Amino acid sequence: MTTNNKEELNKVAASNQPKDSTSTTDSTTKEQQQPSTQPKQVPANTSPPSATTSTAAAPATSAVAKPSPAASTAKTQPEPPPFEKGLVEQIKKEFGDLVKVVFIKPLRIKIQVEPQDIVRVATFLRDSIGFDHAESAGGTDYPKDNQIEVIYHLGSYSNQELAPQILWLTTRTNKDDARLPTLINVYKSVEYHERECYEMLGVYFEGHPRNERFLLPEDWADIPPLRRDFRIKGR
């Protein structure tokens, strides 16, 4: 075979072989990596989200209005106990508006009267209701009102139904001229309690036989020590 014939056979064999797969893959990858310049097709029936759509998607709790204070239910006072309520009704029936009911609680009643009425009310409580003794007496200073309140705690030894009850009989006097009628002729047990109020709060009890000191030193020259405006020297 001549040299020319061999070269022709080699050319025919080379033309019949498959193309290189590597070169084909590289070209395909390059085509995929090139960004497409054609715009994306948007369906005709779609539209961008509106403010209405976003509002509707908000949580439902945001649309719930908070209740106003006026709409809240007012708290109701508890019904007073029947026994204590019955005692107060007897007192109100006798004195009407002369007696102010401060509170009615289980085993506790507080009423307030004017100074000129306290002896008459105390006598009624002893003779008609059954509060036969005063367990204690004390006082409270109210600087904003410029008043001192004296409180008698009344109880009963003779009436078993009243035995657990404490009735607070109170009255008020002006701080600048603190004077009240004594209850020593109604309840003998108030003798030392009223003396203590006189000494520690400066309330003079008219008709009391001994408005004098028995706790403070005789040379005490300051204001009564249980008044709110009392200050210890050096503090």
Q: Note whether residue 22 is domain-resident.
A: no
Q: How far apart are CA 188 and CA 212, in angstroms?
A: 17
Per-residue pLDDT reduced to its tens digit, 138-147: 999 999 999 9
d(CA 11, CA 4): 11
| Backbone torsions φ then ψ of 34, nearest 5 degrees | -70, 125
Asked if residue 38 belongs to a domain, the reply is no
Per-residue pLDDT, 132 = 97
Minimum mean pLDDT range among 18-32, 66-80, 121-135, 167-181: 18-32
- Cβ-in-10-Å burial (0-12, 13-18, 19+) of 158 comes to exposed
230 pLDDT higher than 80: yes
Cβ-based neighbours of 94, under 8 Å, separated by 6 or more? 124, 128
Question: Checking phi first, is residue 58 left (phi over 0); if not, alpha (psi -120 to 50) or beta?
Answer: beta
> What is the rounded CA–CA span in Å between residue 195 and residue 47?
93
Those residues whose C-beta lies under 8 Å from the C-beta of residue 100, and which sit 6 or more positions away, are 111, 112, 113
In a domain, 13, yes or no: no
In a domain, 186, yes or no: yes
Distance CA 233, CA 30 (A): 100
The confidence score (pLDDT) of residue 233 equals 73
Predicted pLDDT of residue 152: 98
Residue 165 has a CB neighbour count (10 Å cut-off) of 20
Tell me which of 38 and 233 has the higher pLDDT: 233
Whole-angstrom distance, CA of residue 138 vs CA of residue 150? 6
Structural domains of the chain, count: 1
**Domain harbouring 202, CATH code:** 3.30.460.80
Residue 86 tokens, joined: 């019955």
Q: How many CA atoms lie within 13 A of 19 on its CB side?
A: 7
Express as a percent the part of the chain with pLDDT over 90: 61
Q: What is the pLDDT of residue 17?
A: 53
Q: What is the pTM of this model?
A: 0.68
How sure is the predictor about 210, in pLDDT bands with cuts at 50, 70 and 90?
Answer: very high
Domain range enclosing 112: 82-206
Residue 118 lies in a domain: yes
Q: Does residue 195 fall inside a structural domain? A: yes
In a domain, 24, yes or no: no
On whether residue 201 sits in a domain, the answer given is: yes
